[in-house]
Amino acid sequence: MQEVDKVMLMIWGGLGMTTIMFVLPMFGIDFSSFLTEVGGIVLSLCFLSLAFLVPKRQRAQEMNERKQQELLASIVRTSDDAILSKTLDGVITSWNAAAERMFGYTAAEAIGLSANAFIRGEDQEEESRFLRHMAEGKVLERYETQRLTKDGRALDVAITMSPLHDGAGKVVGISKIVRDITAQKNAAAELLRYSQEVEQFAYIASHDLKAPLRGIDNLAKWIMEDLGEAMTPEIQKNFDLLRARVARLETLLGDILKYSRAGRIVEEPRELDTGELVHSLTRLHPWGDDFEIECVTEMPVIHSPRTPLEQIFTNLIANAVKHHDKQAGRVEISAADRGGFFEFCVRDDGPGIPEEFHDRAFALFQTLKPRDTQEGSGLGMSIVKKLVEWQGGRVWIDSSPGARGTAVHFLWPRRTAEKELEHAA
């Protein structure tokens, strides 16, 4: 009821009582006796209302609880995950339809069995430890293991366990949700096998083909030497073109191998000073004295493997120098804290990249200039993208229309977890 309505009700109530006080004596009725009679009637009505409303409220509460129980039972019955419960001693007490499909036991067969019937011998001690945790009221979040079916097959499963309490809050049992992840595990293993085959092919292509390429280059040099004074400018031009193509192919093969291995380097994370990393790259690489490469902000110390980040900065700085339209230029490197990630930026003062080519710059084998005018495999930025996304970050280009300069931004985690390297080849 709105506040205005409440005020009006009080006003009309007051007026009504005042009127009754003046009118009743005119008919010879005592006002106090009237209040006593009315009060008795009102009190009786209140008791009657309570007698009617309390059971009604209880019935509504019981109905609501029954609906919730029916909903929970429906979820358990129709779930694709096995949902079961057991005592603290590990005896099965409930078993849904998904558990029947997953393990091959009917509910009648499973209820009363020890949970050890589904657990490999080497995992039973771990299960006992989990049961002790449950008895203390702890919840066990998802963990992955294996369980046995009725016909002896081993299933890869993900399990969540939580304690069951009685009305007094005492732990009396355990509920389990079991998800079959065998298909996902098999798919992951197949993908890993495929990746290893691709890497092996890339290694063979880049390693075994380099020898004949070097042979072709050497043969070209020998022929040039044998021609001596017979070498004409046209022949010289053709041999230079041949050797340039050989060098390009050798670079392409090397970059294919780098791309296949990107994100699969076995290297433990460590404390890494990114400022020192950039300074060491400027000393090691021949980018030329005419290019000034400088960190313009304080660079953070992070927990990360060194090699992938070194490769990212190398590729980005090399691109900035290689695609510059002048003999001299400047490359600025900066970092900004973004919480769990740092945003690094490599900015140059070159010609810039039109916005329509920003996505294309990260595609495989793509170059924004003809290869006859700019040597390159077209894999440098693709390697950067793959390495950044491997760590859960992203990379993008910022280049304002009509303005000089290109900025490549990428997010890299403040701390790389060791688990990210568990499946590295």
Residue-range domain boundaries for the chain:
3-75, 79-180, 187-261, 268-425
* Model pLDDT, residue 209: 75
Which CATH superfamily hosts domain 268-425? Answer: Histidine kinase-like ATPase, C-terminal domain (3.30.565.10)
Low-confidence stretches of the chain (pLDDT beneath 50): 371, 373-374, 419-425
Alpha carbon of 310 to those of 128, 262, 305, 417: distances in Å?
A: 47, 12, 9, 18
* Model pLDDT, residue 65: 63
Q: Note if the pTM is more than 0.85.
A: no
Backbone angles phi, psi at 143, to 5 degrees: -140, 155
Residue in the block written with tokens 């070159």: 350
* Model pLDDT, residue 424: 33
* Model pLDDT, residue 239: 86
Top-tier CATH class for 79-180: alpha beta
* Model pLDDT, residue 227: 87
* Model pLDDT, residue 419: 42
Count other C-beta atoms under 10 Å from residue 395's C-beta. Answer: 21
Same fold flag, 79-180 and 268-425? no
Tell me, rounded to whole angstroms, the distance of Cα 423 from its chain centroid.
16
CA geometry: angle 361, 364, 365, nearest 5 deg: 90
Segment 287-335, tens digit of pLDDT: 667 888 999 999 999 999 888 898 899 889 988 888 888 888 899 999 9
Backbone angles phi, psi at 330, to 5 degrees: -135, 140
* Model pLDDT, residue 422: 37
* Model pLDDT, residue 134: 80
> Which residues are within 8 A (CB) of 224 and not within 5 positions of it... i.e. 6 or more apart?
231, 236, 239
Alpha carbon of 18 to those of 8, 27, 43, 162, 351: distances in Å?
A: 15, 15, 22, 65, 91
State how far the Cα of 219 lies from the Cα of 213, in Å rounded to an integer. 10
* Model pLDDT, residue 334: 96
* Model pLDDT, residue 50: 54
